Copies of this chain bind each other. A is one copy, B any other.
Amino acid sequence: MARRRQAVTIRHVAAEAGVSLQTVSRVINAEPNVRPEMKQRVQEAIDRLGYVPSIAAQRMSGSRSYLILAVNDRERTIADWRARKGTDWVDQMLLGGMLTCAEHGYRMIVELIDTHSDHVERELSAAIAAVQPDGIILTPPHADNPQIVRFLSDQKILFARIGSQDDDAGIPISMDDAGSARMATRHLLGLGHRRIGFIAGSFEYRLSGWRVDGWRQAMAEAGLPDAGLLAEGDFSYASGAEAARRLLSGAQRPSAIIASNDQMALATLDTARAMDLAVPRDLSVISFDNTPLAYFAQPSLTAIDQPIAAMASKAAELIIDGQRGKPRPARLTVIPSSLVERDSVAPWPGNG
């Protein structure tokens, strides 16, 4: 195996520009205390030689690796990939995270970690030891995993927590789940609906609770009861179908249902059809997440769009800022969600 060496190193640039290694290093890192003319001379040599620093070497000596680890739940991610049902969480993370990293000379590495395993910490620390990232982006449910959060805090590693609202450690970034659920509920209230059911996601995800809270608040604001209108799912299609059946079988069935993700909303659509209820004529449905599924469903789903790309981009940005010495935001960074209106919602038809 040939010992593969870098074609153009800082040494070549230094020779070409007739300066020391240090000066080149300073220019690369945009450090102060370099005369403009020196800086220009070095920059020209860099361009002429097409020099690009080796991230391995940069990491070896310095404190930066220019690598950010994006950590996702192994089981769920692989299941989504295999299912090929259009869940594009990872794509959106890459869209936001990768591009923002690239703008600053960073790269993103995707890592899958088991939530349930008793050795989460070991898995994560192995990844950290191997990659030595400058920061870590956590997603649900890891973002609220106390073991992980404590571990990263102790290690003093910069980390962002997408979908979390805890500002005790790391950098929480959220779309404001409660507010989003309120928005969806108010939208339906505004159309005259009074009995609005809610299908919660797994409470292993803290955002599930916040979404329920938002719905409850909006109902309370409108002076409406929520008793008998909440059903719990676990984000899976099957759980959504069961929850929808429960809600729709009651004596006073809801005229609208909000589901905590697209899979459960789709299940609600199918369940309604099976019960001879037309959507949106007999039942309005609003979904959360807005994956491609929402677009393809029949009828297409009105949905709260979870701004994954924007959250990932912000996460990368804040980590890079932090790496450069900027203090982290004092509290939760909110990236607002939006309501995408499609065909699954209609005004309340009245008593007719």
Residue of B nearest to A294 (CB): B84
Of B55, B293, B323, B325, which contacts A296 at CB under 8 A? B293
A107 on interface, CB distance cutoff 8 Å: yes
A125 on interface, CB distance cutoff 8 Å: yes
Of B8, B55, B109, which contacts A107 at CB under 8 A? B109
Provide the residues of chain B in CB contact with A292, threshold 8 Å: 84-86, 292, 296
- Known contacts A50-B122, A82-B95, A91-B91; A7 and B132 CB within 8 A of each other: no
Q: How far is the CB of A138 from chain B (nearest CB, A)?
A: 18
* Complex Cα gap A3–B59 (Å): 10
A57 on interface, CB distance cutoff 8 Å: yes
A4 on interface, CB distance cutoff 8 Å: yes
Q: How far is the CB of A294 from chain B (nearest CB, A)?
A: 9
- Do A95 and B107 touch (CB < 8 A)? no
- Do B131 and A3 touch (CB < 8 A)? no
Of B3, B57, B126, B296, which contacts A86 at CB under 8 A? B296
Q: How far is the CB of A4 from chain B (nearest CB, A)?
A: 5
* Complex Cα gap A223–B53 (Å): 61
- Do A1 and B325 touch (CB < 8 A)? yes
- Do A129 and B57 touch (CB < 8 A)? no
* Complex Cα gap A60–B4 (Å): 10
- Do A125 and B296 touch (CB < 8 A)? no
Q: Which of A290-311 contact B (CB under 8 A)?
A: 290-293, 295-298, 309
* Complex Cα gap A91–B50 (Å): 32
Most buried by B among A57, A59, A91, A107: A91
Most buried by B among A64, A109, A292, A325: A292
A65 on interface, CB distance cutoff 8 Å: yes
- Known contacts A56-B60, A130-B55; A81 and B94 CB within 8 A of each other: yes
Q: How far is the CB of A24 from chain B (nearest CB, A)?
A: 15
A222 on interface, CB distance cutoff 8 Å: no
- Known contacts A292-B85, A296-B86; A131 and B107 CB within 8 A of each other: yes
- Do A52 and B130 touch (CB < 8 A)? yes
Provide the residues of chain B in CB contact with A50, threshold 8 Å: 122, 125-126, 129
A78 on interface, CB distance cutoff 8 Å: yes
- Do B107 and A81 touch (CB < 8 A)? no
Residue of B nearest to A305 (CB): B84
Q: How far is the CB of A265 from chain B (nearest CB, A)?
A: 14
A92 on interface, CB distance cutoff 8 Å: yes
A6 on interface, CB distance cutoff 8 Å: yes
Of B56, B88, B298, which contacts A298 at CB under 8 A? B298
A231 on interface, CB distance cutoff 8 Å: no
Given contacts A53-B129, A82-B95, A86-B296, 9 further A-B contacts (CB under 8 A): A4-B63, A6-B132, A50-B122, A55-B132, A56-B65, A66-B130, A86-B295, A90-B91, A102-B112
